[in-house]
């Protein structure tokens, strides 16, 4: 019988959504502490700065597979590595972006998604002025070439930053080209087959939530 190492949980049980949303916050905080050469950090400290409760931080860290030492805390370097690998930041997935307007351009210039385990390898647009130019080292190609390239490069992740009225059509095109995960930056709700995962990021909705919290 094979004895599994360290954290079995991670491989079997589903990870609670709330945990999944909190862990990137711990991670960000740890990165910002990293240079202050504190060798160990306690759940209490993490909790204080991220405004969660110590016990919750401990639970979450456990789910992520982090191991600490009583009285000492968690080793800085090791906990960062653990969270990185838990979040998949150490394993880069390639993606395609469609729509090089202001938002698309902002994303291409940002170029720090590598930190989050994703890289935009090619961008697409239908504007002839943009086609065959480059932003931040990323080539912009005719959207007509999307499917062909996606299949050749075996890309499964698409980012949509086109105007609202083209969003669903772009999505359909992506699905047809074999995308299995789509990031939707518009406020149009996407209709996709069941085997395609969608993540929507809607600034308007975020603003509305912010204001609701304010009241």
Q: Which of the choices its own copies, DNA, none does residue 29 contact, using the CB cut-off of 5 to 8 A by kind? A: its own copies
Q: Is 9 in the site for its own copies (CB under 8 A)?
A: no
Extract the tokens encoding 167.
């969003």
- Taking the least distance from each CB to DNA, the nearer of 72 and 206 is 72
Q: Is 158 in the site for DNA (CB under 7 A)?
A: no
**Burial of residue 185, with CB atoms counted within 10 A of its CB: 0-12 exposed, 13-18 middle, 19 or more buried:** buried
Contacts of 196 (CB under 8 A, 6+ apart): 175, 179, 180, 181, 182
Q: Which of the choices DNA, its own copies, none does residue 157 contact, using the CB cut-off of 5 to 8 A by kind? A: its own copies
- Contact predicate 78/65, CB 8 Å: no
Q: Is 154 in the site for its own copies (CB under 8 A)?
A: no
* Integer Cα distance of 19 and 35 in angstroms: 26
Q: Is 22 in the site for its own copies (CB under 8 A)?
A: no
- Taking the least distance from each CB to its own copies, the nearer of 43 and 167 is 167
> Which residues contribute to the site for DNA (CB under 7 A)?
14, 16-19, 42-44, 53-56, 58-59, 61-62, 66-74
């Amino acid at each position: 019988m094979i004895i599994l190492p360290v954290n079995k949980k991670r491989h079997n049980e589903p990870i609670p959504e709330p945990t999944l949303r909190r862990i990137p916050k711990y991670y960000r905080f740890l990165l910002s502490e990293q240079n202050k050469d504190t060798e160990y950090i306690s759940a209490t400290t993490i909790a204080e700065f991220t405004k969660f409760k110590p016990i919750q931080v401990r639970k979450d860290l456990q789910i992520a597979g982090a191991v600490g030492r009583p009285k000492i805390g968690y080793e800085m370097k090791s906990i960062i590595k653990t969270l990185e690998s838990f979040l998949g930041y150490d394993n880069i997935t390639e993606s395609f972006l469609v729509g090089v307007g202001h938002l698309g351009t902002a994303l291409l210039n940002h170029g720090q998604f590598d930190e989050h385990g994703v890289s935009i390898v090619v961008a697409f647009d239908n504007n002839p002025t943009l086609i065959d130019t480059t932003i931040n080292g990323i080539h912009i190609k005719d959207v007509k070439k999307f499917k062909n390239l996606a299949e050749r490069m075996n890309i499964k992740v698409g980012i949509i930053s086109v105007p609202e009225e083209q969003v669903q059509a772009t999505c359909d095109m992506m699905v047809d080209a074999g995308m299995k995960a789509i990031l939707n930056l518009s406020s149009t709700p996407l209709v996709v087959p069941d085997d395609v995962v969608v993540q929507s990021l809607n600034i308007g909705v975020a603003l509305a939530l912010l204001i609701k919290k304010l009241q």
